[in-house]
Amino acid sequence: MKTLYRQFIQTSLLFLILSIVLGVILTNVYYVSFTKQETIDQNLERAQEVAVTLEQMHGDTAALEPFLTSVANLGYQIALLDSNQQLTTFGEPFEDLTLTEQAEQVMTDQQTYTGETSGLSFFMTSHFSNRLDNTVGVPFEVDGQQYALFLRQDMNLLSSDIHTLLLAFLLSIAVVNLAGMFLMAKQLTRPISLLHQATREVANDNYSHTLAISRPDEIGELANSFNEMIDRLRQNDESRKTFITNVSHDLQSPLMNIKGYAELISAKAADGSDEREYAEVIESEAKRLSGLAKQLLLLSSLDQPAYQLKADQYALDDQIREVIRHYRWRLEEKELDVSLKLMKVQVHADRELMNYVWDNLISNAIKYSPAGSSIHIDLENEDGVSVVVEDNGSGISAADLPHITERFYRADQSRNEEGTGLGLAIVQEIVKLHTGKVEFESVEGEGTKVKVYLPKFEEE
C-alpha cells in the first residue's frame, strides 16, 4: 500500500527536482538574454583599452610582454597572435588554444571578435569554459606589426569564492527543505494514523477511545467531530444495552407465568385434543422466549466494560466430556458418532462462561449433522489451548460465513431450526473476554469446522 507519508515525500521530492531544473533553465535564459551580452561588452571594452594603451603608450614590441603580463596579473587570461601566426599566452593557461575561423578574422580582416560560440551556447556553463574561442578579440598595431589580442576574465579567480558560497547556500537550502519536508509529512500523517487506529477501535465496539488531537486546522476540526461522533455512539450504545437489559429482565416474570399456565392447561386437557396441542405450542414458545431473554441478559452483561471474569483453574477436557454426556440422548437419537481426541489440559478461565461456549458449539454440531454422520472434537495444548469442533453437516454458505457471529443473524438454512441468532455472538464475546479468538471454516453441503484458541495462562 502506498501510504500518504510516502506520497507526500515523493511529491515533495518531485517538486524539489522540478524547481531545481526550472531554476537552472530560467537562470540560463536570463543569463543568455541579458547578462551574457553585458559580460561580452565589458570584456570587449577592457580588450580595446589594452589595445589602445599598447598602440599609444608602448610603441615597440619589447614592451608587449611585460605590459600584458601585468594586465594578466590583474585577473585576466590573454592570448596574443602575431602576424607569423605565433600564439603567446599570459596568465592562467587555456585548456584549448584552438582558434575558430571567426577568431582568425581578427588578424586577417581586422574585425572584432565577440566570442560567439555555437552548439551548447544556450547553457550558461558553456560561456565559462576555459577555451580560447570563449574570449573577445581585437586587432591592434605596434611598431608596424599587426597583432590580435584575445582576452577573458580569469574565472578561477572570479568564481572560486562565489562558487563556495553558492554551493553552501544551495546545500543549506536543500537540507532545510528536506528536514522541513520530512517534519511536515510526519505532522500531517501522524493524526491520520491516530484517526485510523481510532476507527478500528470503534469498529470493534470500543467507544471509550478518543482522539487526543488539538490543532487549529481542518485536521483538528475532524478530530473534534470524530470525538463528538464517538460520544453519541457511546450514549446510543449505553441506551441500547440498558433497554435490552431492562426488557430482558422484565420479560422473565410474564414468560414464567405463561409457561406455568400453559403447563396447567396441557395437564388438564385430554390427550390428542386441540387444547393440549395449543398449550404445548404456547409452552414451547414461552421456553424459547425465556431462553432469548436469558441470552440477551448474558450478552448485555458481557458488553459491560467493568465485567469481571470469575476465572479459576480447572480441567478443560473433563468439562468438554461432561457437555457431551449431557447430549448423549440426542447423539443416540440421531445415531451420531463422536470422535474425541482430548489431552489432559488445565485452563485458567471462567468455568460457567466456557461451559456455554462448548455447549453452544457441540449442540450446533449435533443440530446440523445428518443422522448417522460423525462429529470430531480435538483438544490440543501447544503454545495455548486449541479446541476444534468439526461436523459433517449442511455447512454454511460463503455469503453467510462472515456474518454468523453478528447478533440476531441467522443463515437461510437455519431458519427452520430452533435458535435466536445470538449463540455464536455470545461465544465470540466470551472468547474475546479470555483474550482468545474463534475461527470458522465451512463448505456448504460438506460441514463446518470451528476452532477456539485460548492463550497460555502464566501465573504472575
Fold of 4-160: Beta-Lactamase (3.30.450)
Could you say which DSSP state residue 172 is in? H
Q: Confidence class of residue 3 from pLDDT cuts 50, 70 and 90?
A: low
Could you say which DSSP state residue 158 is in? H
Quick one: pLDDT at residue 453?
92
Q: Confidence class of residue 174 from pLDDT cuts 50, 70 and 90?
A: confident
- What mean pLDDT is predicted for residues 281-310? 72
Q: Find where cell 584552438 sits.
A: 98
Q: What is the CATH number of domain 218-303?
A: 1.10.287.130
Of 418 and 338, more confident: 338
Q: Which pTM does this prediction carry?
A: 0.50
Nearest to 424 by CA among 297, 284, 299, 293: 299
Asked whether the beta carbons of 276 and 266 are under 8 A apart, the reply is: yes
The answer to whether residue 231 scores a pLDDT higher than 80 is yes
Say which CATH class 311-454 falls into.
alpha beta
The answer to whether residue 120 scores a pLDDT higher than 50 is no
For the chain, the helix, strand and coil percentages under 3-state DSSP, each to the nearest 5: 55, 15, 25
Of 415 and 116, more confident: 116
**Helix or strand holding residue 356 (H, E):** helix 351-368
Q: Confidence class of residue 157 from pLDDT cuts 50, 70 and 90?
A: low
Quick one: pLDDT at residue 101?
83
User: Distances in Å between the alpha carbon of 242 and those of 34, 247, 292, 297, 428?
Assistant: 82, 8, 16, 10, 21
The answer to whether residue 58 scores a pLDDT higher than 60 is no
* Residue ranges of domains in the chain: 4-160, 218-303, 311-454
Of 238 and 100, more confident: 100
The answer to whether residue 138 scores a pLDDT higher than 80 is yes
The answer to whether residue 283 scores a pLDDT higher than 80 is no
